[in-house]
Structure 1
Amino acid sequence: MNGASVVRNKQKVLTELSKGDFDAFLYDCDGTLADNMEGHKASYRAAALMYGFELDDTIIDELAGWPIIQVADEIRKQYGVNFNPEVFAQLKNMLYEDTFIQETKPIDFVVAHLKAHAGKVRIGVVSGGGRVSVSRTLQQIGVTSLVEVLVCAGDTVRGKPYPDPFLSAAEQLGVDPTRCLVFEDGNPGVQAAVAAGMRWIRIDQV
Structure 2
Amino acid sequence: MAREISAVRLWPVGFDYAIFDFDGTLSATEALWEEVDRAFFSARGIPYTPEVHQTLATLGFSGGAAWVREAFGVRDSVEDICDEWNRMGAALYEAKATLRPGAERYLRALRAAGVPLALATTNDPRVLASMAPRIDVSGLFDAVVCGKEVARSKEHPDIYLEAARRIGAEPTRTLVFEDILAGSRSAKSAGFLVCDVDVAGAGQPKEALRGICDVWLDSWEDIKL
User: Which of 150, 153, 158 does residue 164 from structure 1 map onto?
Assistant: 158
Structure 1 position 140, deviation (Å): 3.3
8 Å Cα contact 2:128/2:137 also seen in 1? no
Tell which deviates more after alignment, 104-113 or 37-46: 104-113
Contact 1:18 1:181 in 2 (8 A): no
Q: Distance in 1 between matches of 2:43 and 2:29?
A: 22
Aligned to 1:10: none
Show CA shifts across 1:95-143 (max 9, x none): 1112444211111133332122113211110001111212434753345
TM-score (norm: length of structure 1) = 0.83
Out of 163, 175, 179, the position equivalent to 1:185 is 179
Q: Structure 1 181/28 Cα, relative in aligned 2: closer, same or farther at 3 Å?
A: same
- Residues 102, 140 of structure 1: 8 Å contact kept: no
TM-score by length of 2: 0.76
Give the aligned residue type for 1:203: V
2:70 equivalent in structure 1: 77
Is residue 105 of structure 2 the alignment partner of residue 112 of structure 1? yes
SS at match of 1:125: strand
- 1:131 pairs, out of 118, 125, 137, with 125
Aligned residue for 2:43? 50
User: Quick one: structure 1 residues 154 and 50, their matched pair in 2 at CA, closer, same or farther if it must change by over 3 Å?
Assistant: same
Paired residues for 1:139-154 under 5 Å: 139-154=133-148
Alignment RMSD = 2.3
CA distance in 2, matches of 1:141, 1:165: 22
Q: Which runs of 5+ in 1 are unaligned?
A: 1-12
> Secondary structure of 1:154's match?
helix
- Secondary structure, in 3 states, of the residue corresponding to 2:149? coil
Q: 2:138, 2:144 within 8 Å by CA — same for their partners in 1? A: no
**C-alpha distance in 2 between matches for 1:14 and 1:137:** 28
CA distance in structure 2 between the partners assigned to 1:139 and 1:60 by the alignment = 28
Tell me the percent identity: 25
Q: Determine whether 1:64 maps to 2:45.
A: no
- Counterpart CA distance in 2 for 1:137 and 1:163 is 27
Q: Distance in 2 between matches of 1:166 and 1:18?
A: 22
Q: In structure 2, do the counterparts of structure 1 residues 134 and 99 end up closer, same or farther at CA, with 3 Å as the change threshold?
A: closer
**Secondary structure of the equivalent of 2:57?**
coil
Quickly say closer, same or farther: Cα 1:18–1:167, change in 2 above 3 A.
farther
What is the match of residue 88 of structure 1?
81
Q: Which residue, out of 189, 199, 210, partners 1:195?
A: 189
Further displaced range: 62-71 or 169-178: 62-71
Superposed CA deviations along residues 129-172 of structure 1, whole A, max 9, x for unmatched, are: 11121243475334531210000021111231211111111111
Unaligned runs of 5+ in 2: 1-5, 199-216, 219-225
> Given that residues 184 and 202 in structure 1 are in contact (C-alpha distance below 8 angstroms), is that contact kept between their aligned partners in structure 2?
yes
* Offset of residue 62 of structure 1: 4.4
Distance 2:90 2:181 in 1: 25
CA deviations over 1:31-70 (Å, ceiling 9, x no partner): 1111011111111221223334232243223453432121
